[in-house]
Structure 1
Amino acid sequence: MSGAWRLYWGADNTAQATSTDDIDAVLDRIAAAGAYIVDVTAAGDDDAGVQIGVGHPDRATVLIFDDDGGYAYQPELPAWPEPIDFDYGGQSTSYPPSRTRITPANARHTIRTYLTTGNAPTPIHLDQET
């Protein structure tokens, strides 16, 4: 999955990236502006990629959308006590605690690993009951 990626967030925002460092830089800018869900897909292929929730100081959400994907979570991390709202396509959307059992740092690591190898990193589990 390495190469060129397209990022989508908010009502109509897009960016291009050619490396995971570029993706991190775009995600940093988005997170600084608020809590957003960002789709990251290979340029020209919107059917496989990741969705990441950024902008919350302690939690994130990651959805890998391919045949073997699912929501990423850290089994040792307890559920957040309440839903977390992210802007998804210009609409405030609540994500339940079961979907935010990943730290921002591990969420970033997960998407970097997936986008370059096609697999989630070993300590991260995927809940395929989406």
Structure 2
Amino acid sequence: MIWTGESRTVATVAEVDIALDGIAAQAADAVRSFVVTVLPAGSEHLSSFDEDFPDCLEVGLGHPDRAFVRWMGDGGGYGYKPYREPGPTELRFDYGGHPVYPEPNELRVSPIHARRAGTEFIATCKRPTHLHWQPAE
């Protein structure tokens, strides 16, 4: 897992939960939200520019009510819950020191479901199944 200025190798769902608890506490202390890249174990040394960069997730965490989940694998796209209304505009997440402003439709995920996506990905290395998916445009 990689987020602003930090990385942590995790291999189990329990380790993901511990890491995400720490990221949530860090976000609350700093009053900012983070984009967390969740990679398969052993891929932390790769760059997104590498030809063999694996399928992964980008998860936006830190806001008390809104989050996002982006699939960075075949077909791309973002996860959502159909019963959730689009989120606010101008909601900022920190991506390695750079601001990211997800589209309101990307913010149709709760922090709990975003965390679940991270743990499911670490357990399966596949796109999480508990979310609906909007393909990349």
Taking structure 1 as the reference length, the TM-score comes to 0.84
Matches within 5 A, 1:1-130: 7-10=1-4, 12-34=5-27, 35-45=33-43, 46-117=53-124, 118-122=126-130, 124-130=131-137
Aligned length: 122
Distance 1:31 1:78 in 2: 23
Q: String of CA shifts for 1:3-45, please: whole Å, max 9, x gaps.
A: xxxx1111x3111112111111111111211210000101334
Contact 1:114 1:121 in 2 (8 A): no
Instruction: Structure 1: give runs of 5+ residues left out of the alignment.
Output: 1-6
Amino acid at match of 2:41: A
SS at match of 2:37: strand
Distance 1:82 1:68 in 2: 25
Contact 2:35 2:59 in 1 (8 A): yes
SS at match of 2:54: strand
Higher strand share: 1
Amino acid at match of 2:40: A
Distance 1:28 1:107 in 2: 13
Amino acid at match of 1:101: R
Percentage of pairs with the same residue: 31
Instruction: Structure 2: give runs of 5+ residues left out of the alignment.
Output: 28-32, 44-52
Aligned to 2:46: none
Once the two structures are TM-superposed, the CA of residue 92 in structure 1 deviates from its matched residue by: 1.9
Once the two structures are TM-superposed, the CA of residue 68 in structure 1 deviates from its matched residue by: 4.2
Distance 2:75 2:118 in 1: 14
Q: String of CA shifts for 1:31-80, please: whole Å, max 9, x gaps.
A: 21121000010133442111111110001111121114421000110011
CA RMSD of aligned residues (A): 1.6
